[in-house]
Structure 1
Amino acid sequence: MATTPNIDNKRYQGLIISIALFLTLIGALLAFTFYTSSLLERNTALIDQTNKVANDAQAVIKDLFDLDASYGEDTNSPHIQRVLTRLEENTASITSSIAAIEQGGEITDTEGRSYTLPRIDSDAQANIAAANEQWEALEPKIQTYLKDADNIMVPSADNLTQAVEQAKTSSLLINDSLDNLTNDVFNTAEREADTIRLIQALGVAAIFAYFLIFVFFFVRRLRETDAEALAARRETQEIMETVNTGLFLLDKDLRIGQQHSRALNNIIGADNLAGENFTNVLRGRISDKDLKTTQQFIEQLYNPRVKEKLVDSLNPLHKVMLHNTSDNKGLNDRFLDFKFSRVYDNKDIARILVNVNDVSDAVYLEQRLEKERSQNDMQIEMLTTILNVNPKIINEFIANTQMHIEKMNNILKNPGSSQYELEGKLKAIYREMHSLKGEASALKLHSFTKIASEAEDKLHTLQNQGQLSGNDFLPLAVHLDDLLSLSNTISTLGERINRVAPKSAKPAQASAALNTNVAKTEVAKTEVVEAGFSETGASESIMTDNAASSHAIGGMDTDIGQSIDLDSDANDEQLSFYKDFAKDIAVRQGKQVQLKSESLTQVQIPDHLIKPIKEISIQLVRNAVVHGIETPETRHSTDKNAVGTIDLEVKDNGSDIVLMVQDDGQGINYDSIRTKLSKEGRFSTEEANQLGENDLLKHLFSSGFSTKEQTDEDGGRGVGLDIIKAKVKDYNGKLNVNSKLGQMTRFVITLPKA
């Protein structure tokens, strides 16, 4: 497995020392060579200097003889002046050169380069001393002559004669001494050169021998290191071929390392992964969102300022489903668990180690256990409901559930190809599903409520997608099957617990009548204005007074069913049912409510009106809690009691059954309706501002419209009021809405007995 090598200084200490010694030897040899070159150069300068002294001495003697032969010639003649000048210069040069040679002083050649002459040995000292002795005898006489040589007023013949005579005596001795000196210096330089060549040869031989030894040991160490690396590679390969998990390394460019476990190919379901980009391997097999999150996650792993434990909790590839995109049909989608760990080189993050496990079996087991746990919880929930609710209400719920499911099933079976027909099917199914959810929620059957809510989510999506097709409705069949299965389960449990309850109860046989004492509420007589209602085809009346606005919807005729009586226990059960229902919704919404009914009396309700009155009551109570009653904080700010009040009343006025639900909440905010219509793009801001209250109520009762911003179990999908409108129309009834902003909202439903 390729990793950034970690240099071990101790392991390479011997190699480093050997190289340092090798370089030291070469440096020493080079330094010695430079030194000997300088020494040879100085010896050469010494030889040149002795030769120069000898030549200058010959020139002095020659010039003296020339002056002696030319005596009497005009001293200002060019010849005499040239000879005198040369004699003077050579005399000074000989004096300084002998002193430099004798003492090892500094000289300057004709090119201006300076040299420090080496110290000469004893033999050379004797020769230079002998030469200097003869020169000291000659040089004063030459200086005496030169002092007045160019002065015609002073005779210099005697001085010249003495200098010439001394030169005859000293010249041979000076030349012999200088020749011997030159030979001594040359011999000394020759010996030193031989020594230098010997030392250089020995140094080169030593360096070459050391180099051979160094190469030998280095190659042996290299072979040992290669053997260790090969053994480690074999061990790594054996590990990689043996482990059952997928192991590989990722670099900063998200490329998979050259070595990885053999199991990785089977787990990922791809070959030739080495060197591949990790994102390319995952692309198309996980969602684009997860893929992008994975890239950002790995980038954070390479960020040294981010703690590894913190970023590990954000791992997007924890038990992720990897889809099969290969041609191998036998390879199914699998759940893989990727774990990422940092690999450090000293304190730097070098790579990311990835460990992949196929956890499909564990995930499927968890799902199966979760499903069984959910079924157990559901059965406990159902048992709790059966034991705490009147059997008649349970049987009524079962019958209504089966009826709703049958209606939805029939709606799905009905042919429909145009968008108008498909939208009609969607609205009809939405109403039935919402009614079923309301009854289940009232009985605290959360399993029913959850399935119905999931179905509503799909219906809500279909409602907003625009174009519909028949295939869009196919997934709803699964939800209907789940609801029917739950209905059968609760029916079976109920039969086992309460054998006296009938196995299958029809709504007309098992339903309990809703009985409440209706408070005497008089509706003020107002002027009636007829207007068309495009959604339902019914007529609409608008009634207004000083304090509020009210609206009524009329409908069609229907048959009169038989009426039944309820005993006091049934009345108490029904009232408790609605009180609990209202309080449950209030708890979920963070509110406090109290449902009131003045008293319970024997109200004879036609059999065919029992079910619609109950469904409408459920929708109106939920609507009052969700949309009407404010939170305790809001109510306090408006000087209201923290506990909101909902009045639920039913009365028989002879020819009609009247249902009234009133809350002391915030009322209908028509400006809020205008804002929502404009926000959803149904109208422009200017058009929405021109809509009257009558038009705004039409939209409030339309399918899919809600002033609630967020959807939840209790509202926000815009179906509750649509159900009420549809039920009122189906039973040829009237709907009156009376609201005062910030104070109250009252719904009055009038359903004719005949």
Structure 2
Amino acid sequence: MDASSSRPNLEIPKSRYTSIIVSVVIFLLLTSGVLVTSIYNSLKIRDLRAGSALSSNLRSDIPHLTQEIYLLNIMRQQQQPVSALQSQEAKITQLTQDIDKEITTLSKGGNVAIRDDEDAYKPSTAPEQVKYVKNTSSLWMPYKQEVTRFINSPLALGTNALENKFGESALGIYDNATNLSNNLSAENAQRAAFLRNLQVFGISFAILYFIVFVLYFVRRLKSSDEELITARRETQEIMETVNTGLFLLDKDLNIGQQHSRALNDIIGSDRLSGENFADVLRGRISDKDLRTTRQFIEQLYNPRVKEKLVDSLNPLHKVMLHNTSGEESTTNRFLDFKFSRVYEDKDIARILVNVNDVSDAVYLEQRLEKERSQNDMQIEMLTTILNVNPKIINEFISNTKAHIDKMNNILKNPGSSQFELEGKLKAIYREMHSLKGEASALKLHSFTKIASDAEDKLDALQNQGKLSGNNFLPLAVHLDDLLSLSNTIETLGERINQAAPKANNNAKPVSPVKPEPQPSVFQAQVADAATTNINFDGGNDIDLNDESDDEHLSYYQDFAKDIAVRQGKKIQLNGHNLAHINIPERLKQPIKEISIQLLRNAVVHGIESPEARQSAGKSAIGSIDLEMQRDSQNLVIALQDDGQGIDYEGIRHKLIADGRFTQEEAGQMTHGDLLKTLFASGFSTKEHADEDGGRGVGLDVIKALVKEHNGKLNVNTELGKMTRFVITLPAA
């Protein structure tokens, strides 16, 4: 039976959506009309309120002004003091200005103060109100002129003369202001009543429309839902008899029209009939597996190839199918695809595919494997804890968490431009490389493996060109793994070291070591740092460390020896004054990171293989000297090897080969320019990257740490003989 054709049409009629949309649009239009009308009337009411306030003020100010004029005339008749007369004249002048402003606002508009509020008044356009305003203005102008003349004249007037000048005009202004106020108040009352009625109508209409809408459309929705439920139940009863996913594939990888209902749930797609199998899997398995699947099915259709032989090459055996639903709660699943040929006579007609969800079994296997790995890691960690000074372990745990916090903060920082994303990538790369160096020094291979895997992804991102924020998301998994391992070490260390004896903290005086004379060779400055000669003041430094010089040297010797073994080299590390230096707390971790990176760089890039050294007339064992010095202002770390030195021409050729510069541009670069490229993120003279180097991050870490602590970096080198790094950090 055709699975797809047997399913009823479950599509929701478009007419239902059309009627709903039309109804909503009508409702919104009517609501918008009511809202716009309400807003318009509210604004008009504000104007009317402002006009009423103005006219009311005018009604009270005109009699007040007339009263003050009469009072001034009486004061003149009584020949009162000049100061009293001037005060009264000022009061009249102020009242005149206030009335003039009120009449101007009524005519032209403006802001009107009402109690503690202020409204913007627009002149009325109603004919009757315009008439009152014009009459008021025409009566006010001669009245204002008479007031001005009266104030400027020192003489008193008779009662009749005063009445003739001011009485009639004041009465006319008062009457017009009264009429205007009454007219505005009446219109205000009308609009307020209209607005109330409109609001009542709008609310009533909305409620009525909502009730009709719900009753009508919910009924239709309920009817359609019942049809859909009935059809779905019938489909499930027919198609859910098979628990595994079954379907047929043709030569073009098209899925047949018949398939089991369980297939939809297993694959996680509602549309499978007639779809291309490659399109269904695209984005859910790797591109490599998808290409292999195509080739595998092609071989299944090849009659010359035995079916059992091809089955052993099945690329979809317990393959992980990635979740594409976008829901975080939905986990990825593991599916097991089994392919069988379907023959018509002797020809291969189709491929029958049987799909089972084997996620539970795979997750169980992974859980068991993870437990085995954790047991192995705990044994490794216990070995490290039992053989390393507890203080070094605690420092490693603290530094690991600090590096992880820094990387988390870098990931959280917003950044959208390519420049910002590249800066984030370089910063994370440096932190991860520093963390890997410390883990490698302690022989914590589980840490080193996770950090190396993360560096591989960072290196791929650095070489892919264009970046996006999503490229950084997979790094969070590595950070979680590193933090989990750090917490495991911390827990094991606390259990083991509870009864550990405290280290001897007796201070020992140490004489300062003067710097060795430098060879007269080319000196290059990195990161625009100038060379500084350190002059020691003499005296004794106090040893604030628990470890002896031998313990520090042993730590670095073991680290360098492990790298040398992996690189097939032989080295001898000599340490000078490594522990007996008063190192500020803020510089302890940077100095440790710088020392580790310098040692790794010396062993990987500086020291030659035993055969190459003997061919050059050197001892088969390379010599590395690591020393620390301190005066009142600076702390100096110096590392020198007797290796091959820095090959500037080799750097030049590598820059051209990598496409960073053209041959002409590289040819114009000075030794200083070439040396600076060694400290650029992502550049390395090593052909192939491995656990110890080749990604171009170690020297970048050193440069970043020196810059961060306002230090200076000096490099001396002589081809075929030596390389010396001198790092100067301010101690204050």
TM-score, scaled to structure 1: 0.55
Q: Secondary structure at the match of 1:597?
A: strand
Assess, with a 3 A threshold, how the Cα gap between structure 1 residues 246 and 722 changes in structure 2: closer, same or farther: same
Which of the numbers 693, 703, 716 marks the counterpart of 1:725?
703
Whole-Å Cα distance in 1 between the matches of residues 575 and 318 of structure 2? 57
Whole-Å Cα distance in 1 between the matches of residues 581 and 390 of structure 2? 21
Q: After the TM superposition, which residues 596-675 of structure 1 pair with which residues of structure 2 at under 5 Å, given as runs?
A: 596-597=573-574, 603-608=580-585, 609-632=587-610, 634-635=612-613, 643-651=621-629, 656-675=634-653
Q: Residue 703 in 1 paired to residue 677 in 2? A: no
Over residues 657-715 of structure 1, what are the superposed CA-to-partner deviations in whole Å (9 max), with x where a residue is unaligned? 44332334333222332233223433112111221211011111122222233333322
Structure 1 position 411, deviation (Å): 4.8
Which position in structure 2 is the counterpart of 1:355? 354
Whole-Å Cα distance in 2 between the matches of residues 539 and 325 of structure 1? 52
Which position in structure 2 is the counterpart of 1:564? 543
Over residues 256-295 of structure 1, what are the superposed CA-to-partner deviations in whole Å (9 max), with x where a residue is unaligned? 5676666545433457866664334434543444323211
Structure 1 position 335, deviation (Å): 1.7
Structure 1 position 629, deviation (Å): 3.1
Whole-Å Cα distance in 2 between the matches of residues 495 and 372 of structure 1? 22
Which position in structure 2 is the counterpart of 1:522? 517
Over residues 389-427 of structure 1, what are the superposed CA-to-partner deviations in whole Å (9 max), with x where a residue is unaligned? 111111221222233344445555666676655554543
Q: Secondary structure at the match of 1:578?
A: helix
Structure 1 position 574, deviation (Å): 2.3
Q: Give aligned-pair identity as a percent.
A: 72
Which position in structure 2 is the counterpart of 1:594? 571
Whole-Å Cα distance in 2 between the matches of residues 327 and 579 of structure 1? 51
Larger Cα-atom Rg: 1
Q: Which amino acid aligns with 1:690?
A: Q
Whole-Å Cα distance in 2 between the matches of residues 416 and 284 of structure 1? 27
Q: After the TM superposition, which residues 399-418 of structure 1 pair with which residues of structure 2 at under 5 Å, given as runs?
A: 399-411=398-410
Q: Is the 8 A contact 2:522 2:717 kept in 1?
A: no
Which position in structure 2 is the counterpart of 1:376? 375
Assess, with a 3 A threshold, how the Cα gap between structure 1 residues 717 and 461 changes in structure 2: closer, same or farther: same
Which of the numbers 642, 656, 668 marks the counterpart of 1:690?
668
Q: Secondary structure at the match of 1:667?
A: coil
Q: After the TM superposition, which residues 312-461 of structure 1 pair with which residues of structure 2 at under 5 Å, given as runs?
A: 312-323=311-322, 333-342=332-341, 351-411=350-410, 423-461=422-460
Structure 1 position 598, deviation (Å): 6.4
Q: Is the 8 A contact 1:245 1:355 kept in 2?
A: yes
Structure 1 position 517, deviation (Å): 11
Q: Which amino acid aligns with 1:574?
A: H
Which position in structure 1 is the counterpart of 2:557? 579
Q: After the TM superposition, which residues 424-573 of structure 1 pair with which residues of structure 2 at under 5 Å, given as runs?
A: 424-464=423-463, 476=475, 479-500=478-499, 521-524=516-519, 536=527, 538-540=528-530, 563-565=542-544, 570-573=548-551
Between the two proteins, the alignment pairs up a number of residues equal to 491
Q: Residue 736 in 1 paired to residue 714 in 2? A: yes
Whole-Å Cα distance in 1 between the matches of residues 674 and 663 of structure 2? 14
Q: Which amino acid aligns with 1:597?
A: N
Q: Is the 8 A contact 1:343 1:350 kept in 2?
A: yes
Assess, with a 3 A threshold, how the Cα gap between structure 1 residues 346 and 471 changes in structure 2: closer, same or farther: closer
Assess, with a 3 A threshold, how the Cα gap between structure 1 residues 612 and 258 changes in structure 2: closer, same or farther: closer
Whole-Å Cα distance in 1 between the matches of residues 452 and 400 of structure 2? 15
Q: Secondary structure at the match of 2:353?
A: strand
Whole-Å Cα distance in 1 between the matches of residues 663 and 690 of structure 2? 28
Which position in structure 2 is the counterpart of 1:154? none
Assess, with a 3 A threshold, how the Cα gap between structure 1 residues 683 and 642 changes in structure 2: closer, same or farther: same
Q: Is the 8 A contact 1:662 1:744 kept in 2?
A: yes
Q: Secondary structure at the match of 1:338?
A: strand
Q: Is the 8 A contact 2:397 2:486 kept in 1?
A: yes
Structure 1 position 618, deviation (Å): 0.4
Structure 1 position 435, deviation (Å): 1.5
Which position in structure 2 is the counterpart of 1:61? none
Whole-Å Cα distance in 2 between the matches of residues 632 and 345 of structure 1? 69
Q: Is the 8 A contact 1:411 1:428 kept in 2?
A: yes
Whole-Å Cα distance in 2 between the matches of residues 610 and 325 of structure 1? 47
Assess, with a 3 A threshold, how the Cα gap between structure 1 residues 490 and 677 changes in structure 2: closer, same or farther: same
Q: Is the 8 A contact 2:560 2:573 kept in 1?
A: no
Which position in structure 2 is the counterpart of 1:70? none
Range moving further from structure 2, 632-641 or 446-455: 632-641
Whole-Å Cα distance in 1 between the matches of residues 269 and 651 of structure 2? 56
Assess, with a 3 A threshold, how the Cα gap between structure 1 residues 328 and 656 changes in structure 2: closer, same or farther: closer
Over residues 25-73 of structure 1, what are the superposed CA-to-partner deviations in whole Å (9 max), with x where a residue is unaligned? xxxxxxxxxxxxxxxxxxxxxxxxxxxxxxxxxxxxxxxxxxxxxxxxx
Whole-Å Cα distance in 2 between the matches of residues 263 and 253 of structure 1? 23
Q: Is the 8 A contact 1:593 1:646 kept in 2?
A: no
Unaligned runs of 5+ in 2: 3-238, 535-539
Q: Is the 8 A contact 2:529 2:713 kept in 1?
A: no
Q: Secondary structure at the match of 1:522?
A: coil
Q: Is the 8 A contact 2:543 2:579 kept in 1?
A: no
Assess, with a 3 A threshold, how the Cα gap between structure 1 residues 597 and 283 changes in structure 2: closer, same or farther: closer
Over residues 498-548 of structure 1, what are the superposed CA-to-partner deviations in whole Å (9 max), with x where a residue is unaligned? 115699x9xxx99x99x999897420357989x8x6xx4x334xxxxxxxx
Assess, with a 3 A threshold, how the Cα gap between structure 1 residues 248 and 633 changes in structure 2: closer, same or farther: farther
Which position in structure 1 is the counterpart of 2:296? 297
Whole-Å Cα distance in 2 between the matches of residues 519 and 312 of structure 1? 73
Whole-Å Cα distance in 2 between the matches of residues 445 and 256 of structure 1? 50
Q: Secondary structure at the match of 2:695?
A: coil
Assess, with a 3 A threshold, how the Cα gap between structure 1 residues 677 and 553 changes in structure 2: closer, same or farther: farther
Q: Is the 8 A contact 2:319 2:336 kept in 1?
A: yes
Whole-Å Cα distance in 2 between the matches of residues 404 and 502 of structure 1? 29
Over residues 138-162 of structure 1, what are the superposed CA-to-partner deviations in whole Å (9 max), with x where a residue is unaligned? xxxxxxxxxxxxxxxxxxxxxxxxx
Q: After the TM superposition, which residues 37-186 of structure 1 pair with which residues of structure 2 at under 5 Å, given as runs?
A: none
Which position in structure 2 is the counterpart of 1:746? 724
Q: Which amino acid aligns with 1:596?
A: L
Q: Secondary structure at the match of 1:620?
A: helix
Whole-Å Cα distance in 2 between the matches of residues 279 and 425 of structure 1? 36
Assess, with a 3 A threshold, how the Cα gap between structure 1 residues 586 and 344 changes in structure 2: closer, same or farther: farther
Q: Secondary structure at the match of 1:621?
A: helix
Whole-Å Cα distance in 1 between the matches of residues 724 and 602 of structure 2? 9
Which position in structure 1 is the counterpart of 2:174? none
Structure 1 position 600, deviation (Å): 6.7
Q: Is the 8 A contact 1:417 1:470 kept in 2?
A: yes
Whole-Å Cα distance in 1 between the matches of residues 266 and 549 of structure 2? 64
